[in-house]
Structure 1
Amino acid sequence: MPRPATGLSVLARIGFAELTAARTLIEQLGEVGWPVEPDTLEEFAAAADPDEALRTLLRLGETRPDLLSEIAADPFWRRALIRVIGVSEGLADFLLRHPEESRVLAEPTLVLPTAREMRERLALAVGEEDGFATLPEREAIVALRIAYRREVLRIVRVDTEAEDPRDVLDGVARALSDAAAAALSAALLIARSVAADPAGELPRFPRDEVAATRLAIIGMGKAGAGELNYVSDVDVIFVAAAAADADIDNQRAIVIATRLATILMRSISESAIEPALWEVDPNLRPEGKQGALVRTLESHLAYYDRWAKSWEFQALLKHRHLAGDAELGERYHRAIDPLVWASSGRENFVESVQRMRERVTANIPAEDVSFQLKLGPGGLRDIEFTVQLLQLVHGFADESVRVGGTVAALRALADAGYIGREESGEFMADYRLLRVLEHRLQLQQMRRTHLMPGEDDALRILARGSHLAASGGDLVRRWEATKQRVRQLHERLFYRPLLSAVAELGMDETRLTTAAAGARLAAIGFRDPAGALAHIAALTNGISRSAAIQRNLLPVLLRWLADGADPDYGLLAFRRLSDALGSTHWFLRMVRDSSGVAERLTKVLSGSRFIGELLDKFPEAAAWLESDTLMHPRDEAALAAEVRAIRSRYSEPDRAARAVLRVRRREILRLALASVLGVCDVRTIATGLTVITEVTIGGLLDLIREDATLDDTQLEFAIIGMGRLGGGELGFGSDADIIYVYRPVALDPERAARAAGKIATELSRLSQDARLPLDLDLDLRPEGRNGALVRTLDSYRAYYARWSLTWEAQALLRARPVAGDPTLCADFTALADTVRYPASIDAAELREVRRIKARVEGERLPKGADPTRHVKLGRGSLSDVEWFTQLVQLEHAAGIPELRTTSTLDALHAAQRHQFVGQEDADQLEKAWLFASRVRSAMTLWLNRTTDVLPRDRDQLEGIARILEYPAGSAGDLEQDYLRITRRSRAVFEHLFYDSVSDTP
């Protein structure tokens, strides 16, 4: 025979690793009749390990040259054999022990064997007759194991023929599960024969008693789900009973069934001439290894009803009858299934499942974690635990997700709207990839393993056998990317708070269409159940995916809305938001999947009409609830840049102004969300509100000054923030106190005055916002409402030099430029410093400050208002703290630069450091100021209108309290806290303001 063309480059391209040795072996193979022409050599390219396939063929030829010649002459058989022995040394060893078994690879039909076919063939192998095996035990065990491996060869043939093993994975896993069931069924035939053999080992039983003993084998885990690996432990539970017309009772049946189960397990698992198949693991039974191997159905039910832990119901999720008495198995299923699907209602069920997953990961040996396909982070267990938890939680009320397999469950969960189709698709793809890797690893030696190899050669073979990558390195990179993706999706779905909330619902709460729905809504706090039902119907009616997701979300959302102070408004706002965003790809998916979003959303909607109305204008802002960072105030530079971009985009000032005001509304909504959800404290919120107000005013001023019809070349113009704006202390609903100043820069002061007046008028017009008013308050200008709207800097200087009263110097303590020409801003600040920080202040002026304070309390409080409940001007509230710190500043800021600040709290802290107020008193004043500021903002957020009087209505107090993070039912606690804190603050104020300030060193 001519020397075949076996150049090393050809062999390398085919996939051989040991090139010189392979060339020698190929020559030897050719000598025994195997075709080794270039075309037939290419057949080895389909093998995961061509070198091993070549060696196995030569070994087969040494023992059975006749069979090898027969195989060589059949192209179909030849190629199938190369693929099988090239992917599995374990099966190659089996074929070397039993060469004739390779004939199944020549069968013309390339389909997976059915469960019935395998059960019949394995029963035939052990000589089944009337429910007993006829072969002697040892022969029957060998026959069973050979017949089982013959079925595995049929399965592997289909698996290795597939261009992409992932395409046939589901069928392969189901066939392996059915093969295991067939093996258990055949092993039970052997067990019955052995147990009834008169000459067999003890204990033995009469044949009629063995026949009357009903034994059902329940598959758990992967076997039960129909997704078994090539080599897995097969988890089982044994259930027994006496036949109805038998002469034995259940107690006797349990004794016999225990004997049958013991023999069955050793027939599968104990060492023998033909190696064991896999481990039969009964340890998921009640009480585990310590419990009885076999129980009656009644005993099982008693245990699960009284003693079972949550993880045991999770283990039962995939149970199904595998072998033995089918009617008893079906009874077991009907009795156990309701317990499984009710288990999520157990206390802390979701948390217990989550902790179990964490324990599994924690118990992996450190050296194995990064190699684990199954148990490690991003492995198969992450997918399986996630799917099982979702099934158990939602399957409580939805039978459509009560399916066994992981892939089928993912489809069902996606179809029902519990997870997104994208997440379902990702998980299915990643699950199949990981399972293919697991299968190929186990096939190599036909042993149970879940560890990725670290050696280059092993990775190369795995890459070739799995068809997932061109090289071992590429395979590792793909696996690592898959792990990362799986872990991220697992953490997002497995730990989302919505799961715990759903698990806590009762069955009646998960069904929204019963006649008692209105009564239940009223019972949990809805005041208008009929209106609520109308909203629910609008959200859930129809067959759209959005409606399906809403049907899943609403039972939980309603419960969370009911926890808020105004569930009716919250549901209305949620409906409006859903109408605006329900057709988007992200909104309902975010509410369902993102950690905490659903609960946050219900909290803000049922707790703040201010937020609800703004969200109606900015529905896309709901996306901010997913991240605390997105609710933090944006910095001034970014906001100013956005406003500049608006100015460049619009040529008409009115349109540009509306766009600027829209930015303001959006940013105030951001801050309102942060406030209600406790993301930012009151000072951070105040700074954020101040910044967006300043940017808005500055942007509108720039728009006005860009107007070609305005002759503003004759002047400089600036806007000075006063009051809480100047102090950087704005709250929700605060006015923006300002004054205007200008300075002519040419010789025509009249033209400058007209231009300044037009700027002020236009600013007032363009700042009008009916949706979220921007109240520009100019009452703090010289001479108040009777004074000129705009003044030159020289006019201010003259006025303050001649006419200024002490209260005006006091008002200037919080004056701070917020917009306009920088030079004029600096010059006004310098002028204000000469007035507000006098070198000295005499006793008459101090008395005047105290007199005005008393007058303010008497005249500016609304008629009939309770001074103990007015958060701005009332006793111990904002005004008291501010007047005290301002009096300290008037007296001492000229000599103490630290006191020269427009911030109330910064001034108070400086006063404490310089011992104008003791630490304890300063703390009390600060506490009152912060608490009153929070209460004032909370009233606006709750009522969606500005008010300064703490209401007496209990419902309103409750809503305000909830915004301030009080628990439900705390209206009285809020009221008492406010009155107590301000009462103590008032006592400190009266002592310091009226008695001791002028005497402070």
Structure 2
Amino acid sequence: MTKIMDAILGDDITTLTSKNNNPYLVDFALTKGDKKRLEELQDRYRLANLPVLSTDVWEQINGAICVSEYLYSQLLRHPNWISHLINLTPETLPTPSVADLLISLDAPLEMNEKALMSRLRLVRQYCLVCLIFLDVRQAISLKQLTNYLTLLADACVNASILWIENYYLNLYGRAMDSNGKELSLIVIGMGKLGGGELNLSSDIDLIFAFREHGDTQGGKKSLSNQEYFTKIGQKLIQHLDVVNADGFVFRVDMRLRPFGQSGALVLNLDSLENYYQDQGRDWERYAMIKARVMAGNPEDMKAFETLKKPFVFRKYLDFSAISALRDLKNMIEKEVQRKGIEHNIKLGEGGIREIEFIVQAIQILHGGRDTRLQTQSLYQVLPYLAEQGYLTQAQVDSLWEAYCLLRRVEHGLQGIRDEQTQLLPTESDERELLAAMLGFDGWASLDALLWQQRKLVHTEFIALIEEDKEANNALPNIDSWRVLFKKEISREAIEELTDAVNWKVCDSAIDSIQRFISSRGVVFMQPIGQERLANFFANFMVKLATEENPDLVLERVLVILEAVLRRTSYLVLLCENPTAITHLIRLCRESAWFCEAISTTPMLLDELLDADTLFSPPDKESMEEELRQILLRLPEEDEEAKMDAMRRFKLSLILRIAACDITEILPLMKVSDHLTWLAEVLLQQVLLQAWHYLTQRHGYPTDEQNNPVFVPQLVVVGYGKSGGWELGYDSDLDLVFLHNANQTLSTDGERSIDNLTFYTRLGQRIIHLLTSFTASGRLYEVDMRLRPSGNSGLLVSSLHAFRDYQQKEAWVWEHQALTRARSLAGNDTLRAEFSQIRAEILSKMRDADSLKTEVIKMREKMRTHLDTSKQDLEFDIKQGRGGIIDIEFMVQFLILAHSHAHPELMTYSDNIRQLEEAEKVGVISKESTEQLIDSYKLYRSYVHRLTLQKQGRVVPKEALLANQETISCLWYKFVDVSSI
């Protein structure tokens, strides 16, 4: 016999140990109770031949049954329960479990459906009797009571599902996923059930889901998983909700599922995710805070949390949550205006709903950044709000005191007849009964405290969400913009509304705005979208009035607006965030690249909304962790989703780096550092992803002892800008792949291939992952021409072959390139070996004159083919005379000519630090070093700015004339003399 059934059917106890902390209960029963009720119950008890109880015990029982008709009716049916109540405490209350509900001594899971439904109802009735008895005697806390009811609901749901799966086993078998694993119905508990806060006579709000489409296997008949889980869901509702001679278990409400009553009863998780991402409404975000998987395996729970969190919690400060709450507040106020609703302790003014909304608003507003707010339980969140300063301790104490009182009143109302009600009684007798039930000396005392607490709650509620009317009134022309978007467009009206803006070409700007407002996308928007656009324009024009180049900003912002017309919630976020529009204007002014990035990928606006992250790009370790967390949320085998996620990650990080560049928060060198770290983090992840793909198909490469090698024996070497810590916003990656696997051995999989073929395919896979286009673009363009023997060489070379080639066959220009090479990703041991090879090659003794001749010859060849300068008109910053390449070639000469004597010259691979080391060891003068470094930094800064404006690298001749002449002089000195 299990614990709860022992309690229901077990031995009788006659010793009174149960506490009564309600001094008014017994007195109320003696003065106003129904004596016939007690006499009838005593008669029924005696007829059952149960042990004799003392007068004191019957007084305690009388106190409870006089205030609860449900308690009285159930004890009449089960008089043996009386003896269990008198020694009941929260600690001795048996915890409900699936085992209690299903398992009997002789036939596990074999009870018929009628017996199961009776068992569920019997257990529910016993538990409710115990809880009401403890509650009216104030012997159980609110947390204990609501947690127990939640455990009961969880047990009933899971027991029913287990029975149904067994019931359908022979007929339909089991639902399976694509890997042959069994699937179960995922039951998502919403509202108080999800938060562990269920009340005495609550219905339960459920959503049904399953993880993956497929068909059932192993039964006489196969069904699609959709059909199978729909049948299970329907049976589950029947088991819990149907009212029969034994009553019901829980009223089941399915209206919170996608599309409500018109939606499918069961959805797979992909469909659920698509719904919330594309059509999820504001009230559903609030509802989803409390959503909890109450039936399903750990994988189901993880998958659901993965889809839930991005919908509910945004990583920026989510000011749209307040706007949504205002709408919900207005809806509630309309409900309150209905007759009698002011007496509803849940929905009425200052009721339970307002306390929940205060907490939930803070959760949604800050939960993306503060993960401890991402919990379903109000009990856990409310104290944390004071701990972290979201509310004061006094506010939290006040809300908690009010919440406990309101919930106790709710339980009192529902404990009378097991009715789901939150309406305060209007009859005097019922009011006095409720007061005694809650431990008050009369209705007047209870009513006064209730209204006092409710007024405090409502004050806090209004303070949190009330619109700033002064701010709204201060926003010029807001109503006029709304009229403009809703009615016939007037050019004169646009001119008037934008009169404060100092347009450079007024007619052109007005034409642009008129074309936008008249466009098909705007005209056919929903009214709420047009309202949001109007609010945005009113805010935007205020900011634009102080802008020096408003025409350019308008042109670029309109492009972004066209891209977000279908997701106007972004406009709400911009308007609610005081600084977001300012950031938008500044970044659009300074960067055509930024405008293009946002219009192509509107979700990047998320980054704009949080100044804390926008202007503080993460370091390399933080990038690694952020990317790891993103990829952990995706199915391991969904390579396309991971590719797309990495591209979105790159775009969001580059946006943040560009914002810091434009606003000069990061100096040039740090900008390149961050862009280079980003490339390294993505390369390492791409390498691991490619490795996983190939080892799944061919097994692992083996070593000389025939043991599998579980980590890639590969190093990814970066040349040029990636090797030199100088990546720009649109830089490609010059890469070389090197390995040290034994080429004569093979992989250990069923589709075995030799190690050389494996690593060649690994290199191909890496390039594919980097260069393939997804919906979010591609990661990087890749240039492999610097590998040994160029395009005619092997895609992946061994370290030994690479060393041999560099020593015997490489041209001088290839050794020049090696000065700006370093490992970016891969095996640490191989990375160290590559560094040794690089040092070995660079430190070779060279004839300075011959070396100089080759360097000058290569430079002139490049200038002839690549310099796009126009004489006396334009200067090609990179390839022109006195440009970047002249500086790089001089530095490369110094490294190759002097590293044999000064090995410290090989320490770094970037030009700036190489020049600094060269000056330290005396192979270049301090004056020349400063001239080269200053010009190099200035050139690179110009290139960054031109890239952000989507312009080439050519500038007017006079723009950098002084630096160009300085570097040209140093180049001629280098050509004609032995020193720089």
The two structures have a TM-score, normalised by structure 2, of: 0.45
**Which has the larger Rg?**
1
